[in-house]
Amino acid sequence: MGYGGKLPEQRRARELRAGAWTLAEIATELGVSKSSVSVWVRDVEFVPQPRNRGHSSHRPHPLRLRKEAEIERCLAEGRQRIAQLTDKEFLVLGLALYAGEGGKGEGEIRFANSDPRMIVTFITWLRRFFDIDESRLRMRLYLHADLDVDAAIAYWSSLTGVPVEQFTKPYRAVPDRSMRRNRHVYGCPSISYGCSHTHRRVMGMVAAILSTSAFPG
């Protein structure tokens, strides 16, 4: 065909294209550039096929299977490498989270995140390393107005152990009908603890872990 070199890859590219693979998928599969694939298959009839929508008759795409296998390997590697955190490691983890997501204003600890794992990590960390008065904990939800606020409060209360009575008036956002993703059915909670002393202690340790003198040699 006059393309020169990599004849096996060219033949395979044409086979995959005839099987409705996209240029990007073929390039990834063969480890070649997308531009090369484009030249090799330009005269191959291509009929796009709808993506797998869960029908059992559709076999998962090889790229998808490889991606899922890699994710599983990385999860297993992560669990093995991290294992059980020591107290100091957990302390530093919480400080790192607070450095990125926590409130920096004087007078109160504040942390907001829509990921339940982050919220549980933070509240567990706060209770473990600081002598807090549970009655001073407050939670406030950011929740779209068309979602069930009572169900959301019950969910976050059960998850964190903060009583429903300590939830303040939620912020009800106007629903955006164009938004199809990233709508959190239970909203985004903000946890606050009013205590200047605790906030100063946290910020002091945050400053310590961000100091270059604390980095490994």
**What confidence tens digit (pLDDT) does each residue in 122-154 have?**
999 999 999 999 999 999 999 988 889 999 999
**C-beta of residue 143 within 8 angstroms of C-beta of residue 173:** yes
Question: Residue 177's pLDDT band (boundaries 50, 70, 90)?
Answer: low
- At residue 7, does pLDDT exceed 80? no
Name the residue with higher pLDDT: 121 or 2: 121
Note the pLDDT of residue 204.
Answer: 96
Task: Report whether 167 contacts 139 (CB < 8 A).
Answer: yes
For residue 1, pLDDT over 50 is answered with: no
Is the pLDDT at 6 greater than 70? The verdict is no
Query: Count of residues for the chain?
Result: 217
Judged by average pLDDT, the poorest of 5-19, 55-69, 86-100, 203-217 is 55-69
Measured CA to CA in angstroms, residue 158 lies from 84, 85, 154, 161, 163 at distances of 25, 25, 6, 5, 8
Q: Quote the pLDDT of residue 151.
A: 94
How many whole angstroms separate alpha carbon 146 and alpha carbon 111? 24
Residue with tokens 């946290």: 202
Give the per-residue pLDDT at 49: 63
Q: What is the SS3 assignment for the chain?
A: CCCCCCHHHHHHHHHHHHCCCCHHHHHHHHCCCHHHHHHHCCCCCCCCCCCCCCCCCCCCCHHHHHHHHHHHHHHHHHHHHHCCCCHHHHHHHHHHHHHHHECCCCCEEEEECCCHHHHHHHHHHHHHHCCCCHHHEEEEEEEECCCCHHHHHHHHHHHHCCCHHHECCCEEECCCCCCCCCCCCCCEEEEEEECHHHHHHHHHHHHHHCCHHHCCC
Give every CB contact of residue 180 below 8 A, 6+ residues apart in sequence: none
The pLDDT of residue 51: 53
Domain boundaries, the chain: 7-80, 87-214
